[in-house]
């Protein structure tokens, strides 16, 4: 496990030192979300109704901006070849890089989401459910995105193909994430939706590292 944590800490340090990915992700998220109130008008009831969907879609698209960086930099400088022939199984190496991506690119979005939710006149009682739904469902974004990133790692301009591969798979998470927040706004139980989001994350945690490792082996060969 020491090799796992070394890879994880290495990717986190690189993301923090560069800073461009985090800045780009947060800037895109804030700008995309704040444009909607300007476009639909100041009607508070409309803003409260579309708020959960806008925040979830904004977080999803912001996460996609950095998916290709999970493996691309290591592939270009040859580090990926060295990591794959090391003592750590490829699946665990992939999982370490996914965890680092989620921590550096997605967790900041979760932290800032309650602040942006206030601009949509969302009830204060629903802000906790909004953050919890993102916390439970957002790992799926990095896990499924890693499969697309691994499939397109050796391609030039693979960003469009990566989007086409992962966006359809994000739809169930988006649906239940928004449904959980809407249930909380309507003072209905949101536990079933949150449990489904947790189940999606658990299932993706089992399947996606294996699929990403297989795709990386094909790319390296």
Question: How far apart are the C-alpha atoms of 128 and 133, rounded to whole Å?
Answer: 8
Residue 162 is predicted with a pLDDT of: 83
Residue 142: per-residue pLDDT: 92
- So what's the pLDDT on residue 175? 94
**The domain containing residue 176 runs over which residues?**
2-220
pLDDT tens for each residue of the chain, 221 residues long: 688 888 889 888 888 887 667 788 888 999 988 888 888 777 878 888 888 999 999 999 998 888 888 888 788 777 887 888 878 888 999 999 999 999 988 999 999 998 888 888 888 888 899 999 999 999 999 999 999 888 888 776 667 788 888 999 999 999 999 999 999 988 889 999 999 999 999 999 999 999 999 988 887 77
Number of separate domains in the chain:
1
For the chain, give the number of residues.
Answer: 221
CA distance 117 to 178: 13
Per-residue pLDDT, 22: 77
Query: What H or E segment, with its residue span, contains residue 76?
Result: helix 72-77
DSSP state for residue 119 in the 8-state scheme: T
Structure tokens at 154: 């050796």
Question: Considering Cα of 48, then 107, then 68, then 145, what sign does the dihedral take?
Answer: negative
Nearest-angstrom CA–CA distance, 118 and 4:
39
DSSP 88: S
Handedness of CA 147, 148, 149, 151 (dihedral sign): positive
Q: Is the Cβ–Cβ distance between 149 and 162 less than 8 Å?
A: yes
In b/e form, how buried is each residue of 21-59, taking b as 16+ CB within 10 angstroms?
A: bbeebbebbbebbeebbeeeeeeeeebbbebbbbbbbbb
Residue 163 is predicted with a pLDDT of 83
């Amino acid at each position: 496990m020491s090799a796992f944590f070394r890879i994880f800490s290495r990717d986190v340090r690189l993301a923090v030192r560069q800073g461009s990915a985090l800045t780009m992700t947060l800037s895109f998220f804030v700008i995309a979300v704040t444009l909607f109130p300007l476009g639909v008008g100041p009607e508070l009831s409309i803003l409260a109704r579309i708020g959960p969907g806008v925040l979830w879609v904004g977080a999803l698209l912001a996460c996609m901006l950095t998916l290709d960086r999970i493996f691309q930099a290591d592939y270009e400088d040859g580090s990926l070849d060295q990591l794959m022939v090391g003592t750590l199984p490829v699946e665990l190496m992939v999982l370490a890089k996914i965890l680092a991506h989620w921590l550096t690119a997605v967790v900041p979005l979760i932290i800032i989401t309650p602040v942006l939710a206030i601009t949509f006149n969302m009830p204060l009682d629903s802000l906790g459910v909004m953050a919890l739904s993102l916390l439970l469902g957002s790992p799926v974004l990095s896990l499924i995105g890693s499969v697309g990133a691994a499939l397109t790692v050796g391609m030039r301009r693979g960003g469009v193909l990566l989007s086409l591969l992962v966006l359809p798979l994000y739809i169930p998470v988006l649906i239940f994430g928004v449904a959980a927040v809407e249930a909380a706004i309507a003072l209905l139980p949101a536990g079933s939706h949150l449990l489904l989001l947790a189940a999606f994350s658990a299932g993706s945690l089992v399947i996606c590292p294996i699929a990403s490792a297989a795709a990386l082996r094909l790319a390296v060969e």
